[in-house]
Amino acid sequence: MLLGGRRWAFLGLLAFLLILAGWALHRGELLALALPLLCYLALGFYRPLPTIELQAHRLLSARQAARDETVQVALEIQNQHKSAVLEIVTIEEILPYRVSAVTGTTEKIVTLAGGEQALLEYSVSGRRGLLRWPGVRVSVSDTLGLYHQAIELSCASELLIVPAFEKIRALAMKPRRTRIYSGQVKAHLGGPGLEFFGVRDYYPGDPQRYLNWKATARRDRPIINEFEQERVVDVIILLDARERSDVITKGDSLFEHSVEAALALTHYVSVQGNRVGLLIYGNFLNWTWPGYGGRQRERLLRALASAEKGDKAVFEDLERLPTRLLPAGSQLIFVSPLRESDMKTLLDLRLRYEILVVSPDPLAFESRALLQTPEVQLAARIARLQRTALLTHLRRAGVRLLDWDVARPLAPLVAQELGRMALRAAVMRGRR
Amino acid sequence: MKRVLLGVQIAWAFCYGLLALFWWERGWEPTLTTLLVGIAITALRRWRWTASLQLFILLSGAGLGTATGLNPWAMLGLVAFALGAWDIELFVRRLEVFSETDARLWSQHFRVLAWVLALGLGTGALALSLKLSFAFGWALLFAVLFLIAFLLLLRASL
């Protein structure tokens, strides 16, 4: 668009050529032809842009939204100057890159008199992430387009789009250490609790209602029932965000399912009162320090909602996992489609931590999107055998594992495969 | 907005028609050339720069006509008309990307443009009516002053 200096130059050049021709040909009439152009420039010169004092203010109908939920955005641009009229103000909203749908208009052209304001209304929705509006692009010009000034008004806003996640009902954990606060994880220690743990001699001060009368009669001294203490534990959620672990099909990504699983698990273990930390491994070491409570849950939610994949060579395998950050004896929950090269690190970690793996099945995910030709079926079968071997190896090493076909709901599978009964069965298998 | 754009198209056609009509005095070749150029540029209307090209061609045609003895009053009117069409076309093209526009934008633009054209035609008419003769030194002085003023304008806008 011919604006500002270009317009001056173009019209000035035309006028100059006419004057030059008139002078060269000794024809005064040619000078007269240049006069409308000169008047255009002269009038523009005496009507320069006034001082630009604009202020932007953005209002979002919600600060946090669910996936595909529509959020209304209202952007107000006010001319702070009392009297200056800004003849043409072009407002262009700079949208965050993760916005997936927009209705309404994000651009507007208006005239702003002194103190007047313009309103831009639209709505956005997205799949997941922390949407950040950096600012507003505004350009001001006079009506003839001879002056043009582009500015960017700072007006930062944030919207957290949280993906939908399932509510997990049961997940049994058996970390090597528990913390001192009472919680919901069995600590293998006698004391106050709900489930019977054993019997011991009665000591003065013990509540008499827990006296085991049969055992007292049998041993001829007071015996008391003991219950298993339930305490909170340290749980670290490890989310595999490596690009190479991901599978992308038409409009869907396995990573998104991993994030949803990590969210569901994080929510469950955090609500249970445990001390939860998060490490997103892929783009960089996105570490959220372990903590308790609602505020920590919010922190974890933000971190997971804005998780990004990465293909850094340094994170090619799990060897760079910063184990010094992980609290000793904590429960690790690794959410990953799993790769052959991860095996060694997982087995090393198993020596120091209890590991629980939720593995979104990349083969089932990918094969659903492929045309089932004989070649594809054969390849899928080979890959399936490899994956089964990998999972079996991990299971034998004592890693509790859920091979999750993402087409099926997660919560019942977790209850079935990683619930209390499954844990008891695993313990029995281990004893045998 | 489409109506204004149609009006601008008609204005351009009128400019070419007027130019062709005046060139008729010089025979059918320049008339035909003018009309053909007009039609060719109208066919290229997809691009924004065609408005500026049209202004350049019409100004060149008017300048050439004045230099070869065509009616300078008509050529002045043609220049003013072409300038108005060029300005409105660029203005419309600026606004057409927006779904809604403020009515005040149009009114203030037409008001300022009317002033520009009235002033341009007025001063042009005055220049055509008055005949002054001055020495070459004065002409040189005026040229230098014009150049300085133009550079100042350019600097102010940049």
pLDDT value at B123 more than 70: yes
Chain B: closest CA distance from residue A61 (Å): 24
Separation of alpha carbons A264 and A250, rounded Å: 24
Is the per-residue pLDDT at A298 higher than 60? yes
Contacts of A160 (CB under 8 A, 6+ apart): A63, A64, A65, A129, A130, A131, A301, A302, A305, A306
Task: Tell me which of B49, B54, B66 to substitute to probe the interface with A (most A C-beta atoms closer than 10 Å).
Answer: B66
* pLDDT at residue A334, rounded to an integer: 94
Q: Residue A174: which pLDDT band, with cuts at 50, 70 and 90?
A: confident
Q: What does the pLDDT look like over B84-98, one tens digit per residue? A: 989 988 888 888 888
Torsions phi, psi of A367, nearest 5?
Answer: -70, -25
Q: What is the pLDDT of residues A110-138, one digit of tens each?
A: 998 888 888 989 999 888 888 888 889 99
Q: What pLDDT band is residue A264 in, cutting at 50, 70 and 90?
A: very high
Q: What percent of chain A has pLDDT over 70?
A: 98
B155 touches chain A (CB under 8 A): no
Whose CA is closest to A141, among B129, B108, B7, B21? B108
Q: Per-residue pLDDT tens for B18-76?
A: 777 777 776 767 667 777 777 777 766 667 778 888 888 888 888 888 888 778 888 88
Interface touch A107/B98, C-beta < 8 Å: yes
**pLDDT value at A432 more than 70:** no
Work out the percent of chain A whose per-residue pLDDT is above 90: 33
pLDDT of A173: 84
Looking at the complex, report in whole angstroms how far the Cα of residue A408 sits from the nearest Cα belonging to chain B: 45
24-63 in B: which are within 8 Å (CB) of A?
A: 48-49, 52, 55-56, 59, 62-63
Residues A398-410 have pLDDT tens digits of: 888 999 999 999 9
Nearby residues of A310 by Cβ (< 8 Å), 6 or more positions away? A241, A242, A243, A282, A283, A284
Interface ipTM: 0.82
Please report which confidence band the pLDDT of residue A431 belongs to, taking 50, 70 and 90 as the band edges: low
pLDDT confidence band for A140 (50 / 70 / 90):
very high
**Minimal Cα distance from B59: which residue of A?**
A14
Does B66 contact A at CB distance below 8 Å? yes
- Cβ–Cβ contact B72 with A under 8 A: yes
From the list B90, B124, B143, the residue facing A36 with the nearest CB is B124
Question: Where do the DSSP E strands lie in A19-172?
Answer: 54-60, 64-66, 71-79, 86-93, 101-104, 107-112, 117-125, 129-141, 148-162
pLDDT at residue A288, as a whole number? 92
pLDDT above 70 for A67: yes
Whether A200 has a pLDDT exceeding 80, the answer reads: yes
Candidates A335, A319, A333; CA nearest to A241 is A335
Helix B49-67 to helix B28-43 angle, to the nearest 10 degrees?
Answer: 170
User: pLDDT value at position A257?
Assistant: 92
Is B67 close to A25, i.e. CB distance below 8 A? yes
One-letter amino acid at A153 equals L
Q: Which residues are paired to A132 by β-bridges?
A: A158
Q: Is the pTM of this model over 0.80?
A: no
In tens, the pLDDT along A319-351 reads 888 888 888 889 999 999 998 888 899 999 988
